[in-house]
Amino acid sequence: MSLSIGILTHSTNPRGGVVHGMALAEALCEAGHEATLIAPDVTGAGFFRAPRCPVHCIPAQAVQDLPALVECRIGEIRNAINPARFDVLHAQDPISANALADLVQAGEVRGFARTVHHMDSFTHPGLAGRQLRGLTAARELFTVSAVWEGIVHNTHGRKAPNVGNGVDTQHFTPAPAKQDGTLRARYGLPADRQLVLAVGGVERRKNTLLLLDAFLAFCQENPSLHLVIAGGVSLLDHSAYRSQFEARLKDSSMAEHVSVIGPVADADMPALYRQAAVLAYPSITEGFGLCPLEALACGTPVVVPNMAPFNEHFLDMDVLWCRPDCAHTLGMALRDAVQDKSQDRFLARGPVTARRFDWRSVASRHLPAYGRLAELSRAHAPL
């Protein structure tokens, strides 16, 4: 039976939950359902790439204060949703989940689904309350890794099946494209150095300071290296952590070996992975970690922490491991990654690993819960 499904995300930017929601909506459409991707859009430019599914971009205001921004986004989403259009509504984050919780409270929606990718720690009571409500108010829950499935169950007593993640192996591929030849010049990257790539910006949970320490130590013995930090669009304020990063880089006198390039066009991301000698991803808080999967699909060596969720879905032969609290182990892994034998190994092995993760399977794991929500909605529909 075909379903009409609304997939809600908190923004149109390429954060993990948005990427997951978009790919899920596309896979559901390919499976014969009508899935619409819905998000607030501050710039009016739409999503970070053109989705292969219907979209509803909600006009949104630019707000600087985070608690005020969260309340504004909840209201914008709540006021823009027409529940009668959908059999199922599915939030990918606390903001859109709170908007749907308001509709449940008003009697306009019988229940909704929520994917918990990860949970942040907030000291602000309003933000902490919104995060908790965005989980507890959902009738159906999903997670993307076993570690978060366990956290949700142990902390909140809720079942949240692990639906996993996928990767588009048609987009992320080892085969060079026209972007490869011009990418370094367009992003101001040196043509004659090996690139150590980090994706996600300068953030505490991305462990960027530890990465910088490991890179600077490694660069002392291999000055042909260059660290590239891409991405970083976030609703959260990471300015204090970025100030620490900038101060440490300045004190090192090696700033010419580091580029913080910010957001990268989705069309350029495969080329950026291919240009990199290694993806360094020592993140300490992840729901799943999509970027390592994308890099592997491009044949690029990947270094990740030997901890959940990474060691749930990667094998020893798939990646290089480090300790998330030890710059030395990260430096040793980077040293292994840039060697020719590792480059050849990952070029052959990476795409094989990536093919284990497909969005069609991820979409199918949602259908039992979607069926329950659709049945509930139809049972209580007005005559």
Report pLDDT for 133. 98
Task: Give the mean pLDDT of 163-187.
Answer: 95
pLDDT for 111 beyond 80 = yes
| pLDDT computed for residue 267 by the predictor | 95
Which residue reads 């430019």 in tokens? 45
Residues 112 and 148 in one domain: yes
Which residue in the block uniquely carries the two structure tokens 């509504």? 89
What is the CA angle 291-342-260, rounded to 5? Answer: 40
The Cα 293–Cα 360 span in angstroms is 16
Residue 50 structural domain: 4-166+359-377
Render pLDDT for 194-212 as a digit per residue (tens, 0 to 9): 999 999 999 999 999 999 9
Domain count, the chain: 2
Identify the pLDDT of residue 378.
83
**Same domain as 298, residue 227:** yes
Average pLDDT score, the chain: 95
269-287: pLDDT as tens digits: 999 999 999 999 999 999 9
175: confidence class by pLDDT, cuts 50, 70, 90 = very high
* pLDDT tens, residue by residue, 43-102: 999 999 999 999 999 999 999 999 999 999 999 999 999 999 999 999 999 999 999 999
Q: Please report the pLDDT score of residue 250 as a whole number.
A: 93
Number of H helices, E strands in the chain: 15, 12
In a domain? residue 106:
yes
User: Per-residue DSSP letters for 58-102?
Assistant: EE-----SHHHHHHHHHHHHHHH--GGG-SEEEESSHHHHHHHHH
How far apart are the C-alpha atoms of 185 and 270, rounded to whole Å? Answer: 16
11 and 139 housed in the same domain: yes
pLDDT (tens digit per residue) in 122-157: 999 999 999 999 999 999 999 999 999 999 999 999
Residues 283 and 151 in one domain: no
Instruction: Confirm whether 383 is domain-assigned.
Output: no
Distance CA(237)–CA(20), nearest Å, equals 23
CATH of the domain at 262: 3.40.50.2000
Strands in 140-143's sheet, in edge-to-edge order, are 55-59, 34-41, 4-8, 88-91, 113-116, 140-143
Q: Are residues 81 and 54 in the same domain?
A: yes
Residue 382 lies in a domain: no
pLDDT of 255 strictly over 80: yes
Give the model's pLDDT for residue 383.
Answer: 39
List the beta bridge partners of residue 196.
227, 278
Q: What is the DSSP string of 15-50?
A: -HHHHHHHHHHHHHHHTT-EEEEEEEESSSS-SSS-
Name the amino acid, one letter, at 320: L
pLDDT attached to residue 381:
63
Residue with tokens 């182990």: 329
| Residue 339, pLDDT above cutoff 50 | yes
Q: Which pLDDT does position 293 carry in this prediction? A: 97
The residues, any chain, with a CB within 8 Å of residue 97's CB and separated by 6 or more, are 91, 112, 114, 133, 134, 135, 137, 138
pLDDT of 382: 53
Residues 94 and 76 in one domain: yes
- Band the pLDDT of 379: cuts 50, 70, 90: confident
Q: What pTM was estimated for this model as a whole?
A: 0.93
Cα–Cα distance measured from residue 329 to residue 322, given in angstroms and rounded to the nearest whole number: 5
Q: Would you say 303 and 326 are in contact if contact means Cβ atoms under 8 Å apart?
A: no
Q: For residue 142, what are its two tokens?
A: 């999903």
Distance, CA of 329 to CA of 343 (rounded, Å)? 19
Judge whether 290 and 362 are in contact, CB under 8 Å: no
Q: Is 304 helix (H, G, I), strand (E, B) or coil?
A: strand
Cβ contacts of 357 within 8 Å, gap of 6 or more? 164, 165, 166, 167, 293, 313
Domain shared by 210 and 297, yes or no = yes
Task: List phi, psi (to 5°) of 108.
Answer: -90, -20
Residues 225 and 342 in one domain: yes
Q: Are residues 211 and 333 in the same domain?
A: yes
Residue 238 has pLDDT above 90, yes or no: no
- Model confidence at 216, pLDDT cuts 50, 70, 90, reads very high
